[in-house]
Structure 1
Amino acid sequence: MPADAAGLPAIAGAVPPAAPAPAVAGGPGGRVDHIRALYVQTPATLTGNLIGMALMASMFWSLAPPGRLFGWLAVGATLWLLRLAHYVRFRRQQDADGEQLRLWRRSWMALVLCQGALWGTAVWLFWGLGTHYHVVALILIVYSYCLGSVQLLATQSRVFLAFISLVLTPTIVRIASDTSQAWHLQLAIILTLLFCITVLMARTYGSALGQAITLKTRTDELAGRLRTEMLAAEEARRLADEARRAAEAANRAKTQFFAAASHDLRQPLHAMGLFAEALRQRSHDPEVASLVNSINESVDALEGLFGELLDITRIDTGGVDVNPAPVRLRELFQRLRLHFEPVAFEKGLMLSFRGEGLVAHADPVLLERVLRNLVSNAIRYTDDGGVLVSARLRQRPEGPRLLVQVWDSGIGISEASLPRIWEEFFQAQSNRPLEAHQRKGLGLGLAIVKRLSVLMEAPISVRSRQGHGTVFSLEVPVGKAPRGSIEAAPAGPKMPIGLTLEGRFIVVVEDEAAVREGLVVLLQAWGARVAAFDTVEALEAWLASPGAEPPDLQLVDYRLPQGRTGIDALVALRARWAGRRLPAIVITGSSLGGHEDEAVTHDYHLLIKPVLPNKLRAMIAFKLGVR
């Protein structure tokens, strides 16, 4: 729809940004959207035409014959009203289908061409009337509609060419035929050049507009594709989050299962060890003592298996925190020596340590756990020679590092098995049959070592030769010894095997009948008097009785009936005798951790079931100061 010069800004601002895009779309949908866009511009173009006719009427009101002027205005008003009716119909039926809109477009184009002919006729009707200024104004008004049609019809080249021809061709012919005016041919040529320039401008504008629309269409397609991909990525993230939550729930369930299973399985093992030791106390038969030793070794082996299983589940579920700190290797090696020296001595092996004066910067608990596993394996698979734990400084591009190694002269690992030794449940095969003590384990020790080293960001490697031995190497950062640290005191003499508790009174709180009975029998065999209870409520009832007396030691299970814990038992006992310090030992079947803070707060030492009688005896002697 054409517009006059005054209407051009309104037309440019009236078209929505997205309207041109469908104009060049090839499909019917694009045509429909373009037709809707044309109707959107109708108010501005109608306003421009109304202003143009008003200007023509005001200029030639007293110059043109009334019949000629009113006739032209009547035709213009009729076309204007028809276009207004078109617009009103569109506003009332904006949901019209594509076929209906295409029919309306035909009549709309016919009205546009009729208005073009109306403005071309105006030059013939009003040419030569008035002064030269009237002539110039007439040409400017007519040509403004040609310029206004560029924006509207540039993408429809045939309609635009027909419209501009209907407007300018009569104008050029009328000027060229006016022989009464000088330079009339020159003016006709100028308008012809303007005709050609306007057509060229329309083609250039249409081409640029087409490219812009094409680019915008592609941009819209890419934006739509991006939105689709973003929705897909969001859906993938949602599914990943759901999978992660499901995995976390599965890990928690696995951890809870192992915790519950280990607790329930540790109970009979704990009781078995206690009864076996009580049997040893009552019988001096060497064969019975040998059987008791075998039972205790089996219980010890099962305890190690439970520990490995629980370590794996804690690492998998993120239950292991890494807290690096300075670690004096002298103190660490001393604990390893105290723990493994009797085992090595029993096998006739030499256990040596080198580099005690160095300091590492690592999590002390995790580093000790790694070295314990490596030293335990080294002793288990070595029959002759010895085991060496060493530490040396090594210069690396990123700075000095501490190389901690565990050497052994054992059976070694085959070249084929080396890549798999870090896998869970894998046990390397040897060229010779393994002894019974070498077959113990589930193949989890090195898997735990690998995972802990990854957590500490401490690379670990292994070299081995079958029949000659193996060396495991762990690299950790070098640490600085804390100021004012005190050297570990040399280990005191070992606890004597025969512990006497004559005259001592011990309170036992344990809900498992077999474990409670085993503890009572063993403690009585060591000479103690024992008061045993199965619940916190039974303990509280005894504390309220007049016959209650302060115990020398409290020995309580952590998990008790009715949702109570051993902490409740300790609190009740200490509240009864608030002025006395009552030593306490808490025994639990869960090795998942989390009791350390409670142990500090409530002043007790913790033992993990199954507790071997030797460990229990040593802990009781420590708490009571027995020598």
Structure 2
Amino acid sequence: MKADQIRALIAQSPASLTGNAVGFGVMVGVFFPLAHPLVLGGWVAAVMLLWLLRLGHWWRYRQRELAGTLDDATLLGWVRSYVVLVLLQGAQWGAAVWLFWNLGTPYHRLALILVAYAYTLGAVQLLVTQGKVFNAFISLILVPTIARIVTDRSEPFHWQLAVVLGVIFVATLVIGRTHRSALAQAISLKARTDQLAAQLRVEKAAADEARRAAEAASRAKTQFFAAASHDLRQPLHAMGLFAEALRQRIRDPEVASLVNSINESVDALEGLFGELLDITRIDSGGVDVNPHPVRMKEVFTRLRLHFEPLAFEKGLALSFHGDQRVAQTDPLLLERILRNLVSNAIRYTEDGGVLVSCRQRGERLLVQVWDSGIGVSEAALPRIFEEFYQVHTSRPLEAHHRKGLGLGLAIVKRLADLLQAPLTVRSRVDRGTVFSLELPVGIEQRRVERDLTRSKAALGLTLNGRRMVVVEDEAAVREGLVVLLQAWGAQVDAFETVEAVQAWAAQPGTPQPDLLIVDYRLPAGTTGLEALAVLRARWPRAQLPAIVVTGSSLGGHEDESATHDFHLLIKPVLPNKLRAMIAFKLGMR
């Protein structure tokens, strides 16, 4: 017998003793008026002595168990004494049948049989795990009972009663065996379940460790791409500026063509960095979705501020309709989706324009980006949202059409899936394309609006006579920007820190600049926004236009651009894009 089985068996002693005490009380109550005092007294004394011995046996066991002095070898001795006491109790109930059988009426004998059989049924629950002990216990009770019925010739049908009780005896043995088998299977299943649970815990711990390692690797990958993107954008940005400055000083067409190729390569690398970083963050689960009511006017305003200079540079009309609608969605993810779609629309459209619209369709909003560009063939439409897939058309493409890895629309599709917003596309070659995004309708919240739109005046094509302030801590970028702006005819005051800007602005007679170009991240934890605040405080009535340039593509500057009234450019900035933005900003004043 295993140690845990012994402990479980002895632990049932209080329940067994309670049952014996109840049966003892019943027997004394029924046969006290009928039995001879010496016979009843002797039986009662034997029962009490045995009951106290079992109680003392359990109490000593319990004390040693609590003290932790019972090992497996000692338990075998305890179970032997326990079995002896249990069998003696079974024998005392069998003896009671012989002692009290002829007393009273047939109902007294029936009570005697019921009490005896009640103990056999109790043994099914308490002793069934120990087959031999169980069989011996019920035999010590029922065999004497059956024998006493057989020998009682005072009542008719005693043989029939003995046979019935014998059948009950056999049935009890079968019940005990069946119960023991079922219990053994249950114990086996429990052991197997415990084993599987332990194995599952081990596997889960290993899976959790692997998941944590994968998450750490994913975070490290994202951080690597972010750091690499920021660090590599700086020299690329400087390279583009120097290349454009070189192009301004040469007259050889072949060299100018090489410079243009350098600028196109820089622009392509910029797109690759942004796409790789975005797809990495989405795949690693680093993009959270926080839906709330979003006024489309605010989203459209930021898109207009960002893309109007690019559309103007290509001679395209950029229009927005339906800005009075309110969507229930994440504004940052929605804007990233629309930025990708509008950027593609402008890139692949040479004539006409781009329209961003929002219309209500029942309980949904239909946000669409239309263009009159080169379009996509019907065969290519099913694949345009796949990673690294780029559409091939029958007509030759311009150089700027072939930039990128083909990740832009894959990012759009994954962001739309995160928003649970169905995304569809329709297109006709040489006629244009429309992307449609379905969003739930939001409940409009009253708030004070700031009109961020500006009226567009005539744009100048030269920077002659214009004064620019440049704040940039990277020496190569600062020098390249100064050289390029001077090549375009501008007068430039360049600074490295906010403190240098403060000192320059505090000088009497400092000329008022026409445009501020500042880097977002400056030394000593300062930002370009502090430089903007210093310069605008020096000329509070001038409403100085500003461009903020940053090497980080992680986002989060859109709200700041609206609050502090600046346009944002991501490094590396192609000189043509920079010049278009400068012309746009100066033309607004």
- TM-score higher than 0.5: yes
- CA–CA distance in 2 between the matches of 1:621 and 1:432? 32
- Structure-1 residue corresponding to 2:239: 272
- CA–CA distance in 2 between the matches of 1:308 and 1:56? 94
Distance 1:358 1:49, change over 3 A: closer
Asked if 1:444 is matched to 2:422, the reply is: no
Which residue of 99, 102, 107 corresponds with 2:84?
Answer: 107
- Structure-2 residue corresponding to 1:4: none
- Structure-1 residue corresponding to 2:138: 160
Distance 1:438 1:278, change over 3 A: closer
Q: Secondary structure at the match of 2:547?
A: strand
- Structure-2 residue corresponding to 1:303: 270
Matched ranges for 1:438-477 at <5 A: 439-455=402-418, 457-460=421-424, 474-477=435-438
Aligned amino acid, residue 563 of structure 1 = G
> Shift of residue 558 of structure 1?
0.9
- Structure-2 residue corresponding to 1:258: 225
Which residue of 368, 372, 386 corresponds with 2:338?
Answer: 368
Unmatched tracts of structure 1, length 5 or more: 1-26, 177-184, 346-350, 381-385
Distance 1:370 1:224, change over 3 A: farther
The CA deviation string for residues 40-74 of structure 1, in whole angstroms up to 9 with x for no partner, is 4553366467657866996479x77xxxx37x845
The answer as to whether partners of 2:230 and 2:552 remain within 8 angstroms in 1 is yes
Q: Secondary structure at the match of 2:493?
A: strand
Unmatched tracts of structure 2, length 5 or more: 63-69, 129-133
- CA–CA distance in 1 between the matches of 2:547 and 2:318? 33
Distance 1:167 1:445, change over 3 A: closer
The answer as to whether partners of 1:153 and 1:160 remain within 8 angstroms in 2 is yes
The answer as to whether partners of 1:143 and 1:168 remain within 8 angstroms in 2 is no
The answer as to whether partners of 2:370 and 2:432 remain within 8 angstroms in 1 is yes
Matched ranges for 1:458-497 at <5 A: 458-460=422-424, 474-477=435-438, 495-497=459-461
Aligned amino acid, residue 424 of structure 2 = I
The answer as to whether partners of 1:83 and 1:111 remain within 8 angstroms in 2 is no
Which residue of 500, 509, 512 corresponds with 2:474?
Answer: 512
- CA–CA distance in 2 between the matches of 1:232 and 1:539? 66
Q: Secondary structure at the match of 2:228?
A: helix
- Structure-2 residue corresponding to 1:151: 121
- CA–CA distance in 2 between the matches of 1:534 and 1:166? 110
> Shift of residue 597 of structure 1?
1.9
Distance 1:280 1:140, change over 3 A: closer
TM-score by length of 1: 0.67
The answer as to whether partners of 2:87 and 2:140 remain within 8 angstroms in 1 is no
Distance 1:250 1:622, change over 3 A: same
Q: Secondary structure at the match of 1:189?
A: coil
- Structure-1 residue corresponding to 2:60: 92
Asked if 1:602 is matched to 2:561, the reply is: no
> Shift of residue 360 of structure 1?
9.3
Asked if 1:558 is matched to 2:528, the reply is: no
> Shift of residue 594 of structure 1?
0.7
Q: Secondary structure at the match of 1:607?
A: strand
> Shift of residue 511 of structure 1?
0.9
> Shift of residue 586 of structure 1?
1.7
The answer as to whether partners of 1:524 and 1:530 remain within 8 angstroms in 2 is yes
> Shift of residue 274 of structure 1?
3.2
State how many pairs are aligned. 558
Asked if 1:169 is matched to 2:170, the reply is: no
The answer as to whether partners of 1:35 and 1:101 remain within 8 angstroms in 2 is no
> Shift of residue 212 of structure 1?
6.3
> Shift of residue 510 of structure 1?
1.0
> Shift of residue 119 of structure 1?
2.6
Matched ranges for 1:316-355 at <5 A: 316=283, 317-319=285-287, 339=310
- Structure-2 residue corresponding to 1:589: 551
> Shift of residue 601 of structure 1?
2.8
TM-score by length of 2: 0.70
Structure 1 window deviating more from structure 2 (268-277 vs 193-202): it is: 193-202
Aligned amino acid, residue 312 of structure 1 = I
- Structure-2 residue corresponding to 1:14: none
Identity between Structure 1 and Structure 2 (%) = 41
Q: Secondary structure at the match of 1:160?
A: helix
Which residue of 387, 404, 410 corresponds with 1:424?
Answer: 387
